[in-house]
Chains A and B, each alone.
Chain A
Amino acid sequence: MGLKKILDNMKPAFSEGGKLSAFGSLFDAAETFFYVPNETAKVRGAHIHDAIDSKRSIFFVIIALIPAILFGMYNIGYQHNLAVGVPTDDIFGQFLYGLGVMLPKIVVSYAVGLGIECAVAQWKKEEVHEGFFVTGMLIPLIVPVNCPLWILAIATAFAVIFAKEVFGGTGMNIFNPALVTRAFLFFAYPAMMSGDKVWVNENYMDCINGTIDGYSCATPLGQLGAGEPVTYDAMDTIIGTIPGSIGETSFIAIMIGAVILIWAGIASWKIIVSTFVGGALLAYLLPYEGAQNFEWWEQLTVGGFAFGAVFMATDPVTAARTECGKYIYGFLIGAMAIIIRVLNPGFPEGMMLAILLMNVFAPLIDYCFIQSNINKRAKRAVK
């Protein structure tokens, strides 16, 4: 008996009035996971963007994230071996080590986030929206390796409730939930999120137990922030064999993801390109004072800049939607990120804050462009 028949047979139990109707949303999510839904959008009042269901577009984002995920796992193992003093040529072994560290984080992020989303969806009697699939994958990638799991759980819960559900669920949020998670972690538990001890993992069991016995090792931005010479070459920052948050270190892996997203038409190339342009301009204009071994363009390859530009800034819900607005939005994100990094002594990394700030302004940017458009057309009509 085919899968479709099995699902069809199970359906009545999960519908209204059925025995398992409390889990109706969950069943609905699972069913549309496998098969395209039968309903079409109502004609009145809908703005149709694409023929594909949003689940498919989300899948593309996950696929685009895979290079960063795989490299991130390898890098965890690599940095660990480097720190412990063991030879670093065992590629597969290092990857497995990183996998062991990452997996609990991924599980926690999805479990907490989806748990809350399902509960809310059931309470409101709507279907579970799959927007969290992307957020759930992004969250483990933007935290340092030694972040304890229970802290990650609290932060995810906070972000899902206060940055998403309170506003009305997926599609209604102003702020990027993955970044709100990170912002909450940064402000609530600063000792776990920055400094020198959080970037290299000594024992992956520590990660689960949440102990901080980390090897002391600074990231390039950490070194720049403290005015110390940078001990990593430009090539290191591009390939990604530097300490940092799990997914953000490898420029190459992120670029592969960017290519996938642009080719599939999921992410807007305008935002990505304008973010890099804005960042490059400000990086050129605002060099770090007395920085050694650091080119101005390396600003674009270190820290969370590339990752934020490709995966966070392009989130369609929170970004600007007008085509011209996207240029301004991306440019300002890149510019602000560099300004915060260089000029503010309290924040060595500025990408998270820059994107959250521009999330607030995105509707304003759109409004300005739409208004000017309306005014232009009004003038033409009068003539």
Chain B
Amino acid sequence: MAKLNTNSNVYTIVYASVMVIIVAFLLAFVASSLKATQDANVARDVKGQILSSVNLRGEADVDAKYAEVITENADGTFTANINGEQKLIVPLKGAGLWGPIWGYISVNKDGETVYGAFFNHEGETAGLGARIVEEWFQTGFNGKKIFMGDEVALGVYKAGKAPSNLSADYVVDAVTGATLTSDGVRNMLQKCIAQYADAIKAFKGGESKSCDAKPCCGEGQCEMADSCCADSCADCASSCDECGACKAEKECGACCESDNTNK
């Protein structure tokens, strides 16, 4: 056979086309056959993070545990079932000092306190901001209170620098020497939890509107009389003097509406 002229135009074009087609098929084949495994990996990584936020760290079989404990909600939050108790998991996204930070925080059924938290980052300073991934920092959130009234009061503060109206229940100590990353965590918490405040309220509120439930109002406020509980304690009158026409303390809430219904 005559020697192929490898420098001719026709040959070059044909060669290039054949090469492209072969490579394209090969890569498509590899990508599609491995896609399932890869997606499972990515999903498993996220599941592991979500499980960490309910204090289930280092699970051997992440997929099984996740399937057992977590359900996904339509609004992007997750509901966890831990030993019969329900927790709501809220996703967090924010900015640290050098790059993005993110995480998940789980809320107890009372809608007020933290059950667990998980944080991760892309490029914070090793030994300083990067310590937000360490367990000691994350478990420091367990049991902390989130809301003061309708505002998110939970925050990460340098020792001694928290606002004076916040009790220790709202404050998590910042990582020493990582002021800016800690500020980033605080901003992220306050912004993202506020976005899901309604979801948390709904989670807390639950189905029953029984008023035999524990008093929902704070100090100096009255329990609601019969029918429904108000959505927040701000709806209760703070004293019977405000209503004038009410007879007994227990009926304060009812007297604020002329038609005897609560808001």
Contacts and interface: CB of A to CB of B under 8 A. Distances in A.
Contact of B180 (A190, A191, A346): A346
B177 A345 contact: no
B62 interface: no
A250 interface: no
Interface in A180-238: 190-191, 194-197, 216, 225-226, 228
Nearest to A187: B125
A337 to B, nearest CB: 20
B159 A191 contact: no
B12 interface: no
A190 B181 CA distance: 14
Contacts of B128: 190-191
Interface in B117-175: 125, 127-128, 158-161
Contacts of A196: 158
A194 B177 CA distance: 7
B56 interface: no
Interface residues of A, number: 12
Interface band, chain B = 10 to 19
B177 A190 contact: yes
B59 to A, nearest CB: 32
B176 A190 contact: no
Contacts of A345: 97, 180
B190 interface: no
Contact of B127 (A190, A194, A225, A228): A190
B226 to A, nearest CB: 51
A216 B127 contact: no
B127 A195 contact: no
Contacts of B125: 190
Nearest to A212: B176
Interface of A: 190-191, 194-197, 216, 225-226, 228, 345-346
A128 to B, nearest CB: 37
Interface string B171-206: 000001101100000000000000000000000000
Contacts of B160: 216
B177 A195 contact: yes
Contacts of B180: 345-346
Interface of B: 97-98, 125, 127-128, 158-161, 176-177, 179-180
Given A191-B128, A196-B158, 17 more contacts: A190-B125, A190-B127, A190-B177, A191-B176, A191-B177, A194-B177, A195-B177, A216-B159, A216-B160, A225-B179, A226-B158, A226-B179, A345-B97, A345-B180, A346-B97, A346-B98, A346-B180
8 contacts: A190-B177, A191-B176, A196-B158, A216-B159, A226-B158, A345-B97, A346-B97, A346-B98
Contacts of A226: 158, 179
Q: Which 9 A-B pairs have the closest CB atoms?
A: A195-B177, A191-B177, A345-B180, A190-B128, A226-B179, A346-B97, A190-B177, A195-B176, A191-B127
A195 B97 CA distance: 16
A213 to B, nearest CB: 13
Nearest to B180: A345
A196 B179 CA distance: 11
Contacts of A228: 161
B178 to A, nearest CB: 9
A226 B128 CA distance: 16
Contacts of B98: 346
B122 to A, nearest CB: 15
A346 B125 CA distance: 10
A197 B176 contact: yes
Contacts of A194: 177
A116 B27 CA distance: 56
A273 to B, nearest CB: 35
A158 B203 CA distance: 58
Contacts of B158: 196, 226
A225 B158 CA distance: 14
A196 B158 CA distance: 10
A225 B179 CA distance: 10
A190 B176 CA distance: 11
B21 to A, nearest CB: 51
A252 B158 CA distance: 33
Contacts of B161: 228
A197 B175 CA distance: 13
A195 B159 CA distance: 12
Contacts of A197: 176
A301 B154 CA distance: 38
A216 B173 CA distance: 15
Nearest to A188: B127
A194 B180 CA distance: 13
Contacts of B159: 216
Nearest to A197: B176
Nearest to A222: B179
A163 to B, nearest CB: 23
B11 to A, nearest CB: 52
A90 to B, nearest CB: 29
